[in-house]
Amino acid sequence: MSIVIKGGTVIAADRSYEADVLIEGETIAAIGAGLSADTVLDASGTYVMPGGIDPHTHLEMPFMGTTAAETWESGTFAALSGGTTLVVDFVIPDDENLTAALDAWEARASRQASADYSFHMCITGWSEPIFEAMEAVVARGVNSFKHFMAYKGALMVDDDQMFASFQRCAALGALPLVHAENGDIVAALQQKFLAEGTRGPEAHAFSRPPEVEGEAANRAIMIADAAGVPVYIVHVSCEQAHEAIRRARQKGMRVYGEPLIQHLTLDEGVYANTDWDYAAQRVMSPPFRDRVHQDSLWAGLAAGSLQVVATDHCAFSTAQKRMGLDDFTRIPNGTGGLEDRLPMLWTRGVETGRLTPNEFVAVTSTNIARILNLYPRKGALIPGADADIVVLDPKAGKTIAAARQKSIIDYNVFEGFEVRGLPRYTLSRGEVVWSEGRNDAPRPGRGRFIPRPAFNPVNRALSTWKALVAPRAVARDPSRMPIGV
């Protein structure tokens, strides 16, 4: 069984050209002129791109006394309908048994996912068993570990725990990720606003100003430098954090920054809305910021100081949000975006001239494939790669509406936004899994776990702490060279 995508313009991160794409089985067989196959997909007038990769989701995650309502079934189908073919979800362990948590995530995902998936492991404490378990986790194809610098008393790790874990990542060839917000300051500000009687969603934003994010981003970067390991900062929302990343990269450090489509397009004014539900539905951490910060994030994507656009899809129903009706600190944190990321970024980024189509591909797919060691199986349209493809029609548009979405959430933070750049087709490992009006049902269980092997350890500290981390002699496997995006 072969498929040819005919008559479109192939958009890669580094060039654009007119060509047909031939798919045999699950992979790309050839790209060129005049190709033929059993099935022809008409791509005239469209852009043919590597499927979107969303490296930041929380499907069915237990969090803040409830569980994110978006399931693996609904979330991965929403992803495919919006051109995203791979999600990387965060495993949160209950205790020191990291592999048991990985089993639990894998069980949910394998039964329900219609898109491919991969995992990051969260490090929420530090102990000998966790140190040992990290190696077993890497052996199972999870080469990245996330650290929360916020959520004090719950998920937060402190500096000594983070430094220990970062050193372990360095030795294992794994990539540390951080949620950069100073959890001590957030906790103090939350208490201050509650004590003053400011209990609504607006206080959520007041309690998490850009300074707490900038401080934590700087601290994580310096700790990574001391440990001699690259670091990836999730949901960069403000200039202060972006500035820290820019400065570190300019000094030669491997530091990566990921803005979310929500922070690029929504601003803090949403928290002043007098409709409590409307404001609470938009409570996430970090909160949305003003336009100055949005401009900084857009500039970073164009300049290359920020590399990836994700969603942090962590979607709660309105009923769940109401857990915080009289106390903003109890509103479950999180917003959705999986289904809308590509069209929103196309409309607000490419159509406005802020990003080129090639930059769009880089920040939605290719860069993160390289950073997470998925490349070139994912993130590239080249012979031999998985045929994960989005055929994006720049003229096809819609008005975003919760009433018509694939996500099972009862609202959408982009409600009423006009977007263009919808997928005419989405292919996952050679199968047409979405075509408007035709493939419009989820196929639970067809998604596969995609393992991500460790990198060769980098072990290069630039700071005066260098002596703490003597470089280890490692056998260099050229297929696993360190990331560089």
Q: Are strands 66-67 and 84-91 parallel, antiparallel or unpaired?
A: unpaired
Q: Work out what residue 262 binds among Zn ion, ligand DUC, none; the CB cut-off runs from 5 to 8 Å by kind.
A: none
3-state secondary structure the chain: CEEEEECCEEECCCCEEECEEEEECCEEEEEECCCCCCEEEECCCCEEEECEEEEEECCCCEECCEECCCCHHHHHHHHHHCCEEEEEEEECCCCCCHHHHHHHHHHHHHHHCCCEEEEEEEECCCCHHHHHHHHHHHHCCCCEEEEECCCCCCCECCHHHHHHHHHHHHHHCCEEEEECCCHHHHHHHHHHHHHCCCCCCHHHHHCCCHHHHHHHHHHHHHHHHHHCCCEEECCCCCHHHHHHHHHHHHCCCCEEECCEHHHHHCEHHHHHCCCHHHHHHCCCCCCCECHHHHHHHHHHHHHCCCCCCECCECCCCHHHHHHHCCCHHHCCCCECCCCCHHHHHHHHHHCCCCCCHHHHHHHHHHHHHHHCCCCCCCCCCCCCCECCEEEEEEEEEEECCHHHCCCCCCCCCCCCCEEEEEEEEEEECCEEEEECCCECCCCCCCCCECCCCCCCCCCCCCCHHHHHCCCCCCCCCHHHCCCCC
Euclidean distance between CA atoms 39 and 346, whole angstroms:
28
Work out whether 160 is an interface residue with Zn ion (CB under 5 A).
yes
Distance in Å, CB of 346 to Zn ion, minimum: 23
Distance in Å, CB of 60 to ligand DUC, minimum: 13
174, 178, 314, 461: residue in contact with ligand DUC (rule CB under 6 A): 314
User: For Zn ion, which stretch binds (CB under 5 A), given 103-111, 150-158, 357-365, 415-423?
Assistant: 150-158
334, 337, 430, 442: residue in contact with ligand DUC (rule CB under 6 A): 334
72 contacts 412 by C-beta, under 8 angstroms: no
| CB nearer to ligand DUC: pick between 146 and 246 | 146
Which residues ranging from 440 to 469 are in contact with Zn ion (CB under 5 A)?
none
| CB nearer to ligand DUC: pick between 67 and 110 | 67
Distance in Å, CB of 179 to ligand DUC, minimum: 5
Distance in Å, CB of 334 to ligand DUC, minimum: 4
Which residues ranging from 222 to 251 are in contact with ligand DUC (CB under 6 A)?
none
Work out whether 409 is an interface residue with ligand DUC (CB under 6 A).
no
Given CA atoms 115, 118, 123, 129 in this order, what sign does their dihedral have?
positive
Q: Work out what residue 355 binds among Zn ion, ligand DUC, none; the CB cut-off runs from 5 to 8 Å by kind.
A: none
Nearest-CB residue to ligand DUC?
284
| CB nearer to ligand DUC: pick between 59 and 483 | 59
Euclidean distance between CA atoms 326 and 353, whole angstroms:
43
81, 333, 412, 428: residue in contact with ligand DUC (rule CB under 6 A): 333
Distance in Å, CB of 313 to Zn ion, minimum: 8
Q: Work out what residue 86 binds among ligand DUC, Zn ion, none; the CB cut-off runs from 5 to 8 Å by kind.
A: none
Distance in Å, CB of 160 to Zn ion, minimum: 4
Q: Which residues, including other chains, have CB under 8 Å from residue 398's CB and lie 6 or more apart?
A: 343, 404, 418, 419, 422
Euclidean distance between CA atoms 413 and 281, whole angstroms:
7
Distance in Å, CB of 321 to ligand DUC, minimum: 12
Distance in Å, CB of 1 to ligand DUC, minimum: 40
Q: Angle CA(303)–CA(305)–CA(307) in degrees, nearest 5?
A: 95
- Binding residues for ligand DUC, how many (CB under 6 A)? 8
| CB nearer to Zn ion: pick between 56 and 378 | 56
Which residues ranging from 305 to 364 are in contact with Zn ion (CB under 5 A)?
312
Q: Work out what residue 160 binds among Zn ion, ligand DUC, none; the CB cut-off runs from 5 to 8 Å by kind.
A: Zn ion
Nearest-CB residue to Zn ion?
179
- Binding residues for Zn ion, how many (CB under 5 A)? 4
Distance in Å, CB of 372 to ligand DUC, minimum: 19
Work out whether 284 is an interface residue with ligand DUC (CB under 6 A).
yes
Which residues ranging from 171 to 190 are in contact with ligand DUC (CB under 6 A)?
179
Q: Work out what residue 380 binds among Zn ion, ligand DUC, none; the CB cut-off runs from 5 to 8 Å by kind.
A: none
Q: Angle CA(223)–CA(58)–CA(224) in degrees, nearest 5?
A: 10
Distance in Å, CB of 260 to ligand DUC, minimum: 9
Which residues ranging from 55 to 74 are in contact with ligand DUC (CB under 6 A)?
58
Q: Going residue by residue from 164 to 203, which x/- string records binding to Zn ion, judged by CB under 5 A?
A: ---------------x------------------------
Work out whether 452 is an interface residue with ligand DUC (CB under 6 A).
no
Work out whether 285 is an interface residue with ligand DUC (CB under 6 A).
yes
| CB nearer to ligand DUC: pick between 58 and 448 | 58
Give the footprint of Zn ion on this chain (CB under 5 A): 158, 160, 179, 312
Give the footprint of ligand DUC on this chain (CB under 6 A): 58, 179, 284-285, 312, 314, 333-334
